[in-house]
Structure 1
Amino acid sequence: MKRLKITNDHGWTPRTLRKEEKKIKNISLRQRVMAVRLVMEGYLGKDVASMLNLCRQSVAFYVSLFNEGGLDLLLDRKYPPGREPFLTLEQQQELKQTILTHTPAELGWDIASSWNTRILQSYIREHYEVDMSREGIRKLLHRMRLSWTRPTYTLAKGDAEQQQAFEKQMDLIKKN
């Protein structure tokens, strides 16, 4: 088996790589730098792989990335784009504003005074023609930084005099 070599160090030394390792928070990226540093210090690829609990081919790949483009290419991770969201960003913002400024009863959805996933599921289906699961809606709300709280009710037609009389009675009861 051929020994791994750092053919182009791009100005990095094992000491500077060690300092860079300490700054990196992502563990998989830190392992990449550590693998290159250990090879640079003279360890065999299979020994580096066993020390870092990596595959031997991964260590060889990291060394080739480093030789080709330095630390920038080694730390560059291209993640797949992922699934396209059900609602566009504009629709999500519109939904968020609706949730924050209106109750379902105001918009003619049920007699409820607060939103829940079941009502939102019907609302999204009706307005955006998109079928989403209730769990998907819950995750969407979480990504929009909305949290569930118990609804707070205010009595709009409450009589102030009766409320004060009630509070006085409660104070008398507490004292006795």
Structure 2
Amino acid sequence: MKNQEIIAQIEERMKRTKDRRMYERLQTIRFRMMGIPISQISLMLCLSEKTLRKYIHAYEEKGLEGLVMKVSPGKSSRLTLEQRDELKQVIMNQVPADVGFTAKFNWTLKIIAEYIERCYGFSYSLRGVSKLMERMNMSFTRPTYTLDAADPEKQKEFVEVVFPALKKG
């Protein structure tokens, strides 16, 4: 196959991909097939020459399929297995108020991040906490509210008695 045919094939693939990283890989090969030096491609794509050489080598070894990205494992968890188990038990068996969060009855990613920092000394982003929850086989859902179906007497009791007591405590 001639370079022009390969370039056309790559361009067609570039149009179909929705993955930004795959697009960069295809673009690297396209530019290289056009005779553009790696140093110039590096400047155009804002990627290191080392990364570009990896892409080119993968293409030379396996063709376009060599550019398909393997699943990136990501950064390993900072919490040990024991700490993750302990965290999971806390989340499953206690409410945030039980571990020192004022008037909190639902675990949120933000509260979990604060708890991890407080107890284990590690700072996690909300996305990091979400990924940690996935790795611990826990799902995160936002609470839904159905106040229309709530008992008006219980609501009144909560507003007048329970909630003020929680705020004081």
TM-score (normalised: structure 1): 0.47
Larger Rg: 1
Which structure is higher in RCO with an 8 Å CA cutoff and minimum separation 6? 1
TM-score (normalised: structure 2): 0.48
Greater helix percent: which structure? 2
